[in-house]
Structures are given as structure tokens and as C-alpha cells.
A = this chain, B = another copy of it.
Amino acid sequence: MSENESSVPQSRGPAEHSVREQIVEAAEAHFSHYGYEKTTVSDLAKAIGFSKAYIYKFFDSKQAIGEAICAKTLSTMIAAVERAVADATTPSEKFRRMFKTLVETGAGLFFNERKLYDIAAYSAGEGWPSARSYCERIREILTEVVREGRESGEFERKTPLDETVHAVDLVMQPYVNPLQLQYNLDLVEEAPVQLSNLVLRSLAP
């Protein structure tokens, strides 16, 4: 019926991009207030003043909108981690800051934007691409830090790199995965410190 419908979903022009953004922002505001799980696309359409059909031109499903919101939220967290790591000088300090920032931004989301946190937790539980790529990016940053520590002689090199990274990633998971962080909120201060100490002892040459 319109030009939009015939375009390829992955390669939209700037105008469409801005409409998508507009829908995502309105949906984010709506979901932050009413929650993701309980809202239908019809509710959302009514609330943000677009027709349901118009929204479906840009997003295949409610999940696609949730995905876009989740990706935005998680990429803000990743950016905070990247800044924290860039600010540190030694690999040990990079690891500490990485862990601390991940927990702080996750807990901040929980306490300040609970409904957005719930979308992130839901996405982690369902294994959405946004949640998976968040985990992959965390793992990449961690791999980089461990590799740097091995090269500078600050960390041991006997254990295969993959095994080390995987195990350290497992230690961080309960504080990084929003599905689990909610059970560990009383530990957000001490756990990153205590666990970073333990991990750094395990990484010592």
C-alpha cells in the first residue's frame, strides 16, 4: 500500500529510521510505565497515537520493539563498561572496573528504571539476540583484558585463554545477567570487590 511496505526491513532510509526511533522512544516511555509483558501492540498504538497497522510497518511484533529498546538499554551499559575499562591503566584495574561498572549499571537500572530492567531480564530469559550480543560483547571485553594481562606478564599463561575467560565469565554471570542480578542486589557493593580479588588471585602468575 505504501513505499515503506516494499522496502527491505534491514535497510530503511533516514525518514523511516526516524519514525522507528520515534516508535521506540514512545514505546520505551510507555513500557517504562506499564511494563512490557502486560502491554499489547494495540495498547501501545493507542497510547502513542499511531495506528497498529502503522507500527506493524516498522516492527514485525511486540518483541521486535522490545528488542530495539533492550538493545538501546544494553548498549548504554556496554558503553559505560568500555569507558571504565579505557580509564584504567593496568589489566587488573581494568577487570575490577569492568565488573564494578557492570554491577552498578545493572543495579541502577533495577532501582531507577525497573520496567526497563524487567524487559532486559525477560530478554535474557528468552535468549533474545539483543541479550545474547550483550553477553558476547562483555566476553570480548573480558578476553581483551585477560589477553593484555597475559602479554604484560601480570596474569598467568598456563591455563588456556578460553578456559580462563569462560570461568571468569561464569563468576560474573550472577551479577551481570539481569535475570539473576535481582537475587543478588544485597551483594552489589561487596560481591564485585570480593570476587574481583578472588579472580585476580586465580589469574596471578
Number of interface residues of A (CB under 8 A): 26
Q: State the CA gap A75–B137 with chains docked (Å).
A: 41
| Cβ contact of A159, chosen from B164, B201, B203, cutoff 8 A | B201
Query: Is A198 touching B174 in the complex (CB atoms < 8 A)?
Result: no
Judged by a CB distance under 8 angstroms, whether A185 is at the interface is no
The stretch among A21-29, A47-55, A85-93, A165-173 that forms the contact with chain B is A165-173
From B167, B170, B173, B195, A167 is in contact (CB under 8 Å) with B195
A77 adjacent to chain B (CB < 8 Å)? no
A183-B179 CB under 8 A given contacts A173-B174, A174-B174, A202-B199: yes
Using CB atoms, name the residue of chain B closest to A187. Answer: B170
A180 at interface (Cβ–Cβ under 8 A)? yes
Secondary structure dominating the interface of A = helix
Tell me, yes or no, whether A194 is within 8 Å of chain B by CB: yes
A163–B194 contact, CB under 8 A? yes
Number of copies: 2
Taking a contact as CB atoms under 8 Å apart, the answer to whether A198 and B202 are in contact is: yes
Q: Does residue A45 face the partner (Cβ distance < 8 Å to B)?
A: no
Any B CB within 8 A of the CB of A191: yes
A150 CA / B159 CA spacing, docked (Å): 23
A187 to B198, CA, bound (A): 21
Q: Which of A153-196 contact B (CB under 8 A)?
A: 156, 159, 163-164, 166-168, 170-171, 173-174, 177, 179-180, 183-184, 187, 191, 194-195
13 contacts between A and B (CB under 8 A): A159-B197, A163-B197, A164-B198, A167-B194, A167-B197, A170-B191, A171-B198, A173-B174, A173-B184, A180-B180, A199-B202, A201-B202, A202-B202
- Besides the contacts A198-B202, A202-B202, what 6 more A-B pairs have beta carbons closer than 8 Å? A159-B197, A163-B197, A167-B198, A170-B194, A171-B198, A173-B184
